[in-house]
Amino acid sequence: MERSDNIQVNTGIKIVYHITLVISILVGFWHFFVPNLYKWYDYLPMQYENLIVGIDYTNLCFSALLFGSSFVLILLRKSIFKLNFETIVFYTFLTVVWVFRACLAAFIKPWPLEPVPAAAIGQLIGSVTLALMMIIVTINLWKKRHAKKQLKSLKSLSKK
């Protein structure tokens, strides 16, 4: 059986792909504990119990989706490196999530620099760096997929 997909993802992109997903998993896992670690509720009067529940639900859902999506994409690594359309779309979605997060950090500044400026600056640098790494991987995957489709079309034309 002849292989029609001679286009392969290079090793550097594969390594960056895995690094971005491992970081994303760790952030998702860390977010499960953020409210207690950083005492979010100390800033809210306890009479706002519905607000606290809403914050918890939002944070837990975000954590589960970030952790789960990243984990599933690691499991689908063979599929993405075969340039499967659906898997690339899935990774692209996660990239958009991180770009959105980086934009929030860079432009809206949703946290104060007090009392720990290093945390805010670290989140800014981390989210922007991760978003850029994911953009590089995403663009590379889409370009490789396009090249694979063109090669497949040329092979089918040459057989006629």
Q: How many CB atoms lie within 10 A of CB 61?
A: 10
pTM (predicted TM-score) = 0.87
Rounded Cα–Cα distance for residues 93 and 87 (Å): 10
At 117, is the secondary structure helix, strand, or coil?
helix
* Residue 18 domain-assigned (yes or no): yes
Q: Binning pLDDT at 50, 70 and 90, where does residue 102 land?
A: very high
The mean pLDDT value for 128-155 works out to: 95
The mean pLDDT value for 96-123 works out to: 82
* Residue 2 domain-assigned (yes or no): no
Higher pLDDT, 104 or 90: 90
* Residue 70 domain-assigned (yes or no): yes
Instruction: Evaluate whether 120 touches 111 at the Cβ level (below 8 Å).
Output: yes
- In this predicted structure, what is the pLDDT of residue 2? 43
Tokens 């809206």 map to which residue?
108
Q: Which of 60, 121, 133, 49 lies closest to 95 in space, CA to CA?
A: 133
* Residue 5 domain-assigned (yes or no): no
Split into its structural domains, the chain has a count of 1
- In this predicted structure, what is the pLDDT of residue 1? 38
Look up residue 6 and give its amino acid: N
Q: Residue 63 carries which DSSP code?
A: H
Higher pLDDT, 42 or 103: 103
Residues of the domain holding 72: 11-151
Q: Is the peptide bond before 115 cis (omega within 30 degrees of 0)?
A: yes
Rounded Cα–Cα distance for residues 97 and 143 (Å): 21
Tokens 């396009």 map to which residue?
146
The mean pLDDT value for 100-123 works out to: 79
* Residue 141 domain-assigned (yes or no): yes
